[in-house]
Structure 1
Amino acid sequence: MAASISNILIAFPKTGSNSNHLKSQKPKKLTTKCTTTHQINTIPPLIKSENTKQTSKLTQLPIEKAWRKIHGEDDWVGLLDPMDPIIRSELIRYGEISQACYDAFDFDPYSKYCGSCKHHHEDFFPSLDLPHVKYNVTRYLYATANINVPDFFKKSRWPDKYWSEHANWMGYIAVANDQETKRIGRRDIVIAWRGTVTNVEWVANLQNYLKPVYNDIPCPDNDVRVEAGFLDMYTDRQRKDGYCKYSAREQVLGEMRRLLEKYSDEEVSITVTGHSLGSAMATLSAFDIAQTGLNVREDGTKVHVSVFSFSGPRVGNIKFKLRLESTLGVKVLRVHNKHDLVPKSPGFLVNEKSPPWLLKIAEDIDIPWCYTHVGVDLELDHKISPFLRPDANAACAHNLEAHLHILDGYQGKNREYEATTYRDIALVNKGCDFVKDEHSVPPKWRQELNRNMVKAEDGRWILAQRPQVSDSHHENIDSYLMQLGFILPNKI
């Protein structure tokens, strides 16, 4: 592969030249402009403004070397400060893949489909106006309601019209298509987890109890522990419900086994992403994939596993961090807004920022609420953006679209905001009220037409019918799980 990394990146949707939003942003003059609606073929040199000249350190590397650095082979050393333009673009790309979980989810309690995905997996990205995401969704992920993570699962106000009594749609698994695989230099398998779009109180209502993983995820170190609610959500199943007949863990591992066998003769990467609680699920599932050895091929080589986490809580204790990073080699890049409350929990009192002596005492006496973050930290500050209200509420500070907006102009620590890809500022207010009034973007503007009410032939208004997504799992999921040593629900 002699191709340059300059051909592997996607640019993101640009507001049209007549847009008031674009005019109101008044970015510094750029000499490189996007001329198409959804994508350009090359990024570097991405930015050449009056005060900065940025080119990526990765542009001269062949694809097979560059993508590994993008995914943390060297822990992103020298790529975050100043911000490498290719890393920025890739973070926004995976952020959009994560944001798709929110845009596709039915949050409306007055919908009988509340808690489900609004789109069929075969046209998932085009339905969300993301034609530049060249991935094919291979399966949806579901989890069963869990009392340890309150206020997260959504249910219809009309219990007699439940699409599922126990399940909620949690995300999806997708694979880069042939065109994208050729462009990025490997077959990328993405696992995207849904999080919490506005409610930040859920993290304060956690049990705040660290639970050993070995009973649910085979691990030789009995001291590796994670937050009990996250682990239960990942491993619980409801046998009477077709959607969550298999646990989220079984759904992930079964599908990953199938895909890794299917692409056994190709270069493959596993990328897991999520926002908020979805970030916790992403970290936990990446740990599971590596701990189970799913990423180890017959010849002993390992498929690279990485996590792009957005605004996530702490997941486990120091032993979890050490095993994830050092023993298993999973690479994690955590992106968060310094004003967001969720990444500060759980473990508000004792965490990775505590003095070493306190952490040692906490570990020795086995304090059940001593948490630590994992991976490499990329801290953002929404107050550097001239387009966002600095006094916005906690939900705004937690918003994923806001994170992507900040990333678009983030140049590095103690550097001014400078827009780079003309990412539409209106996207920030899709689900919150964060953009300054002078930019004329209404808050929470994204909504379903007429709340999904349609006029029937008799003139009456009724809720529109939606083709229900099948609850069927892959026909060979049992055999894949049996290869991994699972006791299957229908065999118990």
Structure 2
Amino acid sequence: MATSTSISKTLIPFSKTQEASLRLPHRKFPRPNTRTHMPIKLAARDNSSASLVNYKPKLEEQLKRLPEAWRQIQGESDWAGLLEPMDPLLRAELIRYGEMAQACYDAFDFDPFSKYCGSCRFTPRAFFPSLHMSHIGYHVTRYLYATANINLPNFFNHSRWSKMWSKHANWAGYVAVSDDATSRRLGRRAITIAWRGTVTRLEWVADLKDFLKPISSNGVPCPDETVKVESGFLDLYTDREENCGYCKYSAREQVLTEVKRLLEMYSNEEVSITITGHSLGSALAILSAYDIVETGVNVMGDSRGVLVSVVSFSGPRVGNMRFRERLEVGLGVKVLRVVNLHDVVPKAPGVVFNEQLPAALMKVAEGLPWSYSHVGVELALDHKKSPFLNPNADAVCAHNLEALLHLLDGYHGKGERFVLASGRDPALVNKGCDFLKDHYMIPPNWRQDENKGMIRSNDGRWMQPERPKLDDHPEDMHHHLRQLGLASSDI
């Protein structure tokens, strides 16, 4: 598989106008040591000779204040004063969560010619090292699986071969926790839940059932039956398949029991819970955040409430105005939504009746099954501000997560010029789309598995290698379900 390290060594020409817009103040930067923060080397053209400009990160000073500032970064005060202008520490943290969401795509096997299509390509222990992300300082504690009886193209992928790893389940994400060294750097033990979205295409938006139903109708607790969410999202979160080992428990049950287990394990520490996801994964992130707090799983044994935050990327609307009020005011869940202004997904569902209408009109329409409202705080970015990106690229590019992380790296506030803050490699944008301008000479969709995953056996024959069997559910799953009051006799 090609890596961003090799791509970042490309010499990329750009004009004098772009050079002026990208030039950073002259200063010395520490040498980066991460895959995604490799410096991009740009060949600057002038009338005399070409010169190289190296963009390197300078985050160390900002990161030193994280142990004291993490609650503000996680949204305790709804990110007041941190977005305009963009706080450098917040930007770095948002990119980190975005990379954890992107890892769901990079690890997902969506090749229909693979008998493992629909699964994760790596074991939990090897997850971050296999993606060259050991530096992130987390380890995966559990994989999440989903099943559903709804049509969501490019989320549920299955092999075309009769021999497959599962007929009903798809890998949907993971739960990870910070290691000791990272916890000291972050100022708390950080639990992160990352949900996978759909793979590249946008057809799933049109295939949503697109009608609201009470969140309590699928067993998620809520004291108000007027609190409603999109039915397809809710089904995906709560459905289970009794005949499938991986989906014997619903995605909801998997999340709640793992969070409870981890909070019991770290009961003597300061803990945070951050849930992230892109696209459809953003909707699952918001639903699971609601569920964790409404169920009270985030309350420690000594009655301390753990701060629950959502970092959403390119997410659709999830519920109605009553859901928004319950989530934000009733439960205090903090949601920051990062979107591209030109992306169609955040505009759906609820294209007609939504939070942008006058409050009086929304009050009249709130009983309709198509009346939706976004939640939380929005950070709107514009890909037409980046000198790297093609402003006329197709709609799929505007929805791309790597492109959104690129925009985050260059965003400093409304009206401010686009300047890469950490030197995050723009070549990553074209990893799964065709968004960079042609004169950067980065091929589109360059990320691929070597030989499409085929290996040569000892006798010289090419074959699909076997993978280690992924664990389905921990042995103490039923114990935690019983503690949560979710155990049933048919499980």
TM-score by length of structure 2 reads 0.90
- 2:404 equivalent to 1:403: yes
8 Å CA contact 2:215, 2:221 repeated in 1: yes
Matched, 1:316 2:319: yes
Q: 2:140·2:176 contact (CA, 8 Å) conserved in 1?
A: yes
| Paired AA for residue 11 in structure 2 | N
Counterpart code for 2:458 = E
In the alignment, what sits opposite 1:8?
none
TM-aligned CA distance change 1:379 to 1:239, over 3 Å: same
Cα displacement string for residues 362-397 of structure 1 (whole angstroms, at most 9, x for unaligned residues): 12xx10010000000000000000000000011100
Question: Aligned pair 1:245/2:234, yes or no?
Answer: no
Task: State which of 17, 24, 28 in structure 2 corresponds to 1:29.
Answer: 24
Q: CA deviation at 1:201?
A: 1.8
Aligned partner of 1:232 in structure 2 is 235
Question: Which residue does the alignment assign to 1:423?
Answer: 424
**The 10-residue stretch of structure 1 (460-469 or 61-70) with the greater mean CA deviation from structure 2:** 61-70
Match for 1:172: what amino acid?
A: Y
> Following the alignment from structure 1 to structure 2, what is the Cα–Cα distance between the partners of residues 18 and 437?
17
State how far apart, in whole Å, the 2-side matches of 1:18 and 1:234 are: 42
Q: What is residue 92 of structure 1 aligned with on the other side?
A: 95
In the TM superposition, what are the counterparts of 1:266-277 in structure 2 within 5 Å?
266-277=269-280
CA distance in 1, matches of 2:152, 2:226: 23
Letter paired with 2:243: K
Structure 2 partner of 1:168: 170
Is the Cα–Cα contact under 8 Å of residues 24 and 419 in structure 2 kept in the other structure?
no
Match for 1:209: what amino acid?
A: F
Q: CA deviation at 1:469?
A: 1.3
- Report the alpha carbon displacement of residue 32 of structure 1 after superposing the two structures with TM: 4.4
Q: Relative to structure 1, is the Cα distance of residues 292 and 382 closer, same or farther in structure 2, using a 3 angstrom cutoff?
A: same
Deviation by residue 1:237-264 (Cα, 9 ceiling, x = unmatched): 0011111110000000011111010101
Superposed, 1:69-148 pairs within 5 Å as 69-148=72-151
Shift, 1:420, TM fit: 1.1
Aligned to 2:484: 484
Question: Does the CA-based 8 Å contact 2:13-2:439 persist in structure 1?
Answer: no
Are residues 78 and 311 of structure 1, via their aligned partners in 2, closer, same or farther at CA, if it must alter by over 3 Å? same
Shift of 1:468: 2.6
Partner of 2:337: 334
Contact persistence 1:314–1:344 (CA under 8 A): yes
Partner residue in 1 for 2:266: 263
Instruction: Give, in whole Å, the separation in 2 of the partners of 1:477 and 1:72.
Output: 31
One-letter amino acid of the counterpart of residue 274, structure 2: T
Q: Does 1:177 align with 2:179?
A: yes
Helix, strand or coil: the match of 2:144? strand
For residues 287 and 397 of structure 1, what CA distance do their matches in structure 2 show? Answer: 28
Aligned to 1:391: 392
Query: In structure 2, what is the equivalent of residue 157 of structure 1?
Result: 160
Equivalent residue of 1:309, what SS? strand
Partner of 2:454: 453
Task: Confirm or deny: 8 A CA contact 1:15 1:422 kept in the other structure.
Answer: no
| C-alpha distance in structure 2 between counterparts of 1:163 and 1:362, whole Å | 46
Give 1:15 shift.
8.0
Please name the residue that 2:48 is paired with. none
Equivalent residues in 2 for 1:288-327, closer than 5 Å: 288-327=291-330
Helix, strand or coil at the partner of 2:191 = strand
**CA distance in 2 between partners of 1:359 and 1:86 (Å):** 37
Cα distance, 1:61 vs. partner? 9.0
User: What is the correspondence of 1:461-476 to structure 2 with a 5 Å cutoff?
Assistant: 461-471=462-472, 473-476=473-476
Hey, what does 1:4 align to over in structure 2? none
Give the partner amino acid of 2:384.
K
Paired with 1:489 and 1:187, the residues of 2 have a C-alpha distance of 35
Which secondary structure does the structure 2 equivalent of 1:136 belong to?
A: strand
Question: After alignment, is 144-153 or 192-201 more displaced?
Answer: 144-153
Aligned-residue CA RMSD (Å): 2.3
Report the secondary structure of 1:132's partner residue. helix
Q: State the 1:205 CA deviation.
A: 1.4
Cα drift, residue 151 of structure 1 = 4.3
Moved more, 382-391 or 20-29: 20-29
1:190 CA displacement: 0.4
Contact in 2 for aligned 1:149/1:230 (Cα 8 Å): no
Shift of 1:297: 2.1
Structure 2 residue 224 is the aligned partner of structure 1 residue 221? yes
Structure 1's unaligned 5+ residue stretches are 1-12, 42-54
Check whether the contact 1:309–1:332 (CA below 8 A) recurs between aligned residues: yes
**85 and 22 in structure 1: CA distance in 2 versus 1, 3 angstrom threshold:** farther
CA contact (8 A) 2:267 2:301 kept: no
- Seen in structure 2, the aligned counterparts of structure 1 residues 302 and 199 have a Cα distance that, compared at 3 Å, is same
2 CA distance for matches of 1:213 and 1:40? 38
- Quote the Cα distance in structure 1 between the aligned partners of 2:179 and 2:456: 39
User: In the alignment, which of 20, 37, 48 is matched to residue 11 of structure 2?
Assistant: 20
Letter in 2 for 1:20: L
2: distance between equivalents of 1:40 and 1:284? 29
| Amino acid in the other structure paired with 2:486 | F
1:423-471 CA distance string (max 9 Å, x none): 1111000000001111110010010111112223333322222223122
Secondary structure, counterpart of 2:216 in structure 1: coil
Number of residue-to-residue matches in the alignment: 462
Matches within 5 A, 1:275-294: 275-294=278-297
The answer to whether the 8 Å contact 2:86/2:411 transfers is yes
C-alpha contact 1:246 1:489 (8 A) present in aligned 2: no
State the 1:360 CA deviation. Answer: 1.1
Q: Which moved more, 1:288-297 or 1:482-491?
A: 482-491
SS at 2:201 equivalent:
coil
Question: In the aligned structure 1, how far is the partner of 2:5 from the partner of 2:385?
Answer: 21
Length-normalised TM-score, structure 1? 0.90
Q: Name the SS for the 2:136 alignment partner.
A: coil
Task: State the secondary structure of the residue aligned to 1:350.
Answer: coil
* In structure 2, C-alpha distance between the alignment counterparts of 1:94 and 1:256, rounded to whole Å: 18
In structure 1, the partner of 2:203 is: 201
Following superposition, the deviation at residue 73 of structure 1 comes to: 0.8
Maintained 8 Å contact 2:283/2:315: yes
Provide the rounded CA distance (Å) in 1 between the counterparts of 2:385 and 2:256: 41
- What is the identity, as a one-letter code, of the residue corresponding to 1:28? R
Give me the whole-angstrom Cα distance separating, in 1, the residues matched to 2:93 and 2:13: 22
SS at structure 1 position matched to 2:171: strand
Alpha-carbon distance in 2 for matches of 1:204, 1:436: 29
Aligned counterparts of 1:90 and 1:228: Cα–Cα separation in 2:
32
**What do residues 307-328 of structure 1 show as CA deviations (whole Å, max 9, x unaligned)?**
0000000000011000100110
SS in 1 for 2:101: helix
Q: Which residue, out of 336, 346, 350, partners 2:349?
A: 346
